[in-house]
Chains A and B, each alone.
Chain A
Amino acid sequence: MALAEEVILETQGLVKEFSGFVAVDGVSVRVRQREIHALIGPNGAGKTTFFNLLTKFLQPTSGAIFYRGRNITREQPADIARHGIVRSFQICAVFPHLTVLENVRVALQRKLGTSFYFWRSERSLGNLDRRAMQLLEEVHLEPWARTQAADLPYGRKRALELATTLALEPDVMLLDEPTQGMGHEDVSHVTRLIKQVSANRTVLMVEHNMSVVASIADTISVLQRGRVIAAGPYSEVSKNPQVIEAYMGTSSDSLSGGPDGP
């Protein structure tokens, strides 16, 4: 059992009901500091709803969320980001009509405190460009700095999303299916990036691709029909018959980490 002070993000009996339908049904998850924690489960298991609850895009019906021991259940989504919990989205979330550099700069700009200055030239943001370029280098996007984000290939958009998230220097990154809809090459590229940026950070990710999960996740929580049915290291969880059945519909084989996932 993890020590209490090691737990950075914790939910207690989180419930979300949508007019009678219970999408998340008493989920208690503990995310420890500096781990990569994967949330897996079949479609409709409530993973994205759980994410939306964590980042306050949805209000829970009941239950509580603690961040560093503080109850954050009733806070606003923008405040959650300011505490250092930054999320990505299932659908790739870049700002399509801004350049790659501007995408990252928008994230950096808030701390400058001039974001309401409508009378000042945007050239005043120029001194953020160096830091923005550094972040782009981290995800190997610097050659595309002046490209419109809309024109990037999908895998690179995901990388840009990561760079934008990193710009906030988050303590906790919540990634919703970061490799969804990607080709094999992009998957391994983004997987490497996640591993790389997770140094000194906590990552909680929803992921379908079991080879990604197997290669980088420290801990796995398995969700089914809104409940956690198993939690622990990959080696243990992947042999759990209940998990295998939820995923494969049969308990004959252990979970395989094939490149395309189950």
Chain B
Amino acid sequence: MRAQIALYVGLGLLALVAPFLGLYPVFLMKLLCFAMFACAFNLLLGFTKMLSFGHAAYFGASAYITGWLVTVQGWGTLEAILGGVAVSMLLGAVIGAIAVRRQGIYFAMITLALAQVVYFVCLQAQFTGGENGLQGIARGSLLGLLSLGDDRAMYYFVLAVFVAVFLFIRRIVHSPFGQVLKAIRANEPRAVSLGYKVDRYKLTAFVLSASLAGLAGSLKALVLGFATLSDVSQGNSGEVILMTLLGGSGTFLGPFVGANVVITLQEYLSDLAGSWVSVIIGAIFVVCVMVFRRGVVGEIQRRFGQRSD
């Protein structure tokens, strides 16, 4: 426990000074956004064993809504973020309500199919800009006080949100609700026989995960200044699964580590290897699944005998 706190503090300090270490702030922000996305996804896969194949729907929809609210409606930054999150929450509630009634592969297929519907809507609708996406989304300012146009200011804002989300997920897992989720994950029929209406708990977890994925998406839209079809595409849903499994699903730091690995590789290899990037990442994933199934953090925790909750 003490080692864990020390690790968190160390990582936190590193994150605070990172922009002064010559690292490109926009790249760091992109890292944090995808790490947040993976953490949100992990809440579902890692702590409730629900494998969603369509999490890009919430990430992307929220990115579009935030972008549209800022560029077309002229909303302020915070309001636009909240608007995006609200829409992904709603989307999560609708898709979740249908999906949680099924288990395993059927659950995965329903989330995949409905995410494809969302993708199609984003492709066809007027407000999303179709193939071009939404460009030139301004970051605006925080309540008119702090301009986020500066990369460093924006970085600390994103960092603060990420830390809040990270701690929030920890709290969810270590809450009375989290206890019930653990029980459902371990033995669903038994949880039912104790009188728990498990579908409602799963739906709540699903909506929480979708909302946080949406938050990550809307921040990403503000950071990079655009929302495109790739945000809402199947490829993005696959990537977040990969990040989570690579880092270690069911661990708190795993998705963060996985997102760092994947995004860093994409960023640096794209110059060197071009389109071979996806082949390399795919190969890493295969090795990961075959050699260390628990993911990077999962394996480390096992070696050092820590409980993986």
Contacts and interface: CB of A to CB of B under 8 A. Distances in A.
Contacts of A93: 187, 189-190, 193
Given A77-B193, A96-B186, A118-B208, A102 B179 contact: yes
Interface of B is mostly: helix
A82 B196 CA distance: 9
B133 interface: no
Interface residues of B, number: 28
A125 B176 contact: yes
A105 interface: yes
Contact of A122 (B174, B187, B192, B208): B174
A14 B201 CA distance: 32
A79 B193 CA distance: 9
B182 interface: yes
Contacts, number: 101
A165 B195 CA distance: 11
A86 interface: yes
Contact of B193 (A86, A112, A115): A86
B195 A168 contact: yes
A178 to B, nearest CB: 14
A82 B195 contact: yes
B175 interface: yes
Given A57-B189, A106-B180, A110-B196, A97 B204 contact: no
Nearest to B180: A115
Given A57-B189, A94-B187, A97-B182, A116 B177 contact: yes
B194 A110 contact: yes
B182 A98 contact: yes
A86 B194 contact: yes
A109 interface: yes
A234 to B, nearest CB: 28
B195 A118 contact: no
B186 A109 contact: no
A124 B176 CA distance: 8
Nearest to A95: B186
B186 A98 contact: yes
Contact of A95 (B178, B183, B192, B198): B183
B194 A77 contact: no
Contacts of B196: 78, 110, 115
B197 A76 contact: yes
B277 to A, nearest CB: 37
Contacts of A79: 195
B302 interface: no
Nearest to A77: B192
A55 to B, nearest CB: 7
A71 interface: no
B194 A81 contact: yes
A96 to B, nearest CB: 6
Nearest to A84: B195
A166 B279 CA distance: 55
Interface in A61-99: 76-79, 81-82, 86-89, 93-98
A179 interface: no
Given A93-B189, A95-B182, A106-B179, A118 B194 contact: no
* 4 closest A-B pairs by CB: A81-B195, A118-B177, A93-B190, A95-B186
23 contacts: A76-B197, A77-B193, A78-B192, A78-B198, A79-B195, A81-B192, A86-B193, A86-B195, A93-B189, A96-B187, A97-B182, A97-B309, A102-B179, A106-B183, A106-B191, A109-B180, A114-B176, A115-B176, A115-B201, A118-B172, A118-B208, A119-B171, A121-B171
Interface of B: 171-172, 174-180, 182-183, 186-187, 189-198, 200-201, 204, 208, 309
